């Protein structure tokens, strides 16, 4: 006995509903992607700004230290000699504390307090002066912590004798008064002392003329000593009628570049930090650029410009000014959508429509033989049925 013919089975509805364009979901997804990208860009931008600030700060400190290392500390004054126009008797009266014409402290401060010269006592022709040439350093860095001392000498010698002289710096941690005379050696080959001799063409230190000498020592406290090779001729008429020999024959001015010995080593220590900060800023800038313009490294300039314009339209950003917030403005405004927005929406819909059509074509090809009621009973929707009838 044969079983009754079974009615043809109604095809089951599609396992998944045809893909449809949901503008609200698309807008939410777009907003989420934009917010995530904005947060990432904000973090990268903050990191880039911080690293750039480190570069500027390090460069500023390095420039200041290096610049100040070329400014000397000066001591002394050769602009005027209060004794130049005075006789020996007048100088003695002014300088001798026992004389009623002795300078007051105000006059000393005004005329000679800042001077390095041989007019401060009766040992005319030589002087000693304590100089502090920076902080003593226990380590030696070669030329980096050398102290250059430029000495400008101005002569007033009037007795007609030789103006050849010795000048030098002698290490004296306790001052000139504690410097043993055995330490004052002139015939030693050292950059800290020198001898300048007269020549047949010109004297070493002509009256009213100047001579510059540059000496080099390590940081510390030193005694600057000047001595004419020929002693003063106290029988000269300028010394008549006096037993004191106060009259100045040489002035000096000293420019001490001791800050350089302290600042240049600091510059050397800061230089690696500056290089590291520059490299860090470059890496941060590259990371920011890769997120902002992901394909800029493989595209030409023209393509990068076109992509930037496209990103401005797609992401709602004004890349020329860096503003990001067009989406928010669109939400709060009541203006009609522009033609560009309508075309973009139509393009998205046209792209999504073939996908939905393709998904229903397979099932619709075999379901066209059934009636609408049968398809509805199988779980089909009226939209799906209408779409299937239209495709068939």
Domain edges within the chain: 74-256, 339-392
142 contact partners, CB below 8 Å, separation of at least 6: none
Alpha-carbon gap, residue 242 to 256, rounded angstroms: 38
pLDDT at 181: 85
Please list the alpha-helical segments (H only) found in the chain.
23-68, 88-95, 105-111, 258-292, 301-315, 326-332, 339-367, 372-377, 382-391
Is 292:41 a contact under the CB 8 Å cutoff? yes
Q: Decide if pLDDT at 21 tops 60.
A: no
Q: Is it the case that residue 88 has pLDDT exceeding 70? A: yes
Q: Which structure tokens are listed for 158?
A: 């009037």
Shortest CA distance to 47 belongs to which of 55, 258, 99? 55
- Return d(Cα 167, Cα 226) in angstroms, integer: 5
Cβ atoms within 10 Å of 151's Cβ, excluding its own: 23
- Region 321-339: mean pLDDT is 47
- Say which range, 6-20, 34-48, 303-317, has the weakest mean pLDDT: 6-20
Instruction: Name which of 116-120, 294-298, 325-329, 345-349 the model is least confident about.
Output: 325-329
Cβ(68)–Cβ(259) below 8 Å: yes
Say whether pLDDT at 132 is over 80: yes
**CA 252/CA 261 separation, integer angstroms:** 23
Contacts for 205 with CB less than 8 Å, ≥ 6 apart: 153, 154, 155, 157, 163, 165, 196, 211, 250
Q: Exposure of 249 by Cβ count < 10 A (0-12 exposed, 13-18 middle, 19+ buried)?
A: buried
Pairing of strands 73-76, 317-318: unpaired
Alpha-carbon distance of 151 to 211, in angstroms, equals 8
Does residue 334 surpass a pLDDT of 60?
Answer: no
Contact call for residues 170 and 179 (beta carbons, < 8 A): yes
């Amino acid at each position: 006995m044969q079983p009754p013919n079974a009615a043809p089975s109604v095809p089951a509805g599609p396992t998944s509903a045809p893909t449809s364009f949901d503008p609200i979901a698309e807008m939410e997804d777009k907003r989420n992607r934009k917010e995530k990208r904005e947060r990432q860009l904000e973090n990268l931008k903050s990191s880039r700004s911080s690293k750039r600030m480190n570069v500027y700060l390090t460069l500023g400190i390095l420039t200041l230290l290096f610049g100040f290392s070329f400014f000397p500390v000066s001591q002394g004054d050769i602009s005027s000699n209060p004794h130049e126009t005075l006789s020996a008797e007048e100088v003695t009266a002014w300088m001798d504390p026992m004389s009623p014409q002795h300078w007051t402290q105000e006059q000393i401060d005004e005329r000679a307090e800042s001077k390095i010269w041989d007019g401060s006592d009766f040992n005319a022709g030589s002087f000693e002066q304590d100089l502090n040439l920076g902080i003593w350093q226990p380590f030696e860095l070669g030329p980096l912590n050398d102290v250059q001392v430029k000495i400008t000498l101005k002569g007033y010698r009037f007795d007609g004798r030789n103006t050849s002289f010795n000048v030098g710096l002698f290490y004296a941690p306790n001052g000139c008064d504690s410097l043993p005379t055995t330490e004052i050696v002139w015939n030693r080959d050292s950059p800290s002392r020198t001898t300048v001799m007269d020549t047949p063409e010109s004297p070493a230190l002509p009256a009213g003329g100047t001579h510059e000498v540059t000496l080099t020592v390590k940081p510390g406290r030193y005694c600057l000593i000047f001595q004419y090779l020929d002693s003063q001729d106290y029988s000269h008429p300028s010394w008549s009628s006096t037993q004191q020999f106060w009259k100045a024959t040489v002035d000096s001015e000293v420019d001490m570049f001791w800050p350089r010995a302290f600042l240049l080593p600091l510059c050397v220590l800061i230089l690696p930090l500056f290089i590291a900060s520059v490299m860090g800023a470059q890496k941060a800038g590259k990371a920011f650029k890769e997120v902002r313009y992901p394909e800029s490294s493989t595209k030409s300039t023209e393509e990068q410009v076109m992509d930037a314009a496209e990103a401005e339209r797609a992401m709602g950003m004004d890349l020329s000014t860096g503003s990001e917030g067009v989406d928010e403005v669109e939400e709060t405004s009541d203006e009609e959508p522009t033609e560009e927005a309508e075309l973009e929406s139509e393009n998205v819909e046209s792209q999504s429509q073939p996908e939905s059509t393709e998904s229903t074509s397979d099932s619709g090809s075999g379901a066209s033989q059934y009636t609408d009621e049968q398809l509805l009973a199988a779980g089909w929707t009226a939209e799906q049925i209408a779409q299937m009838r239209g495709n068939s």
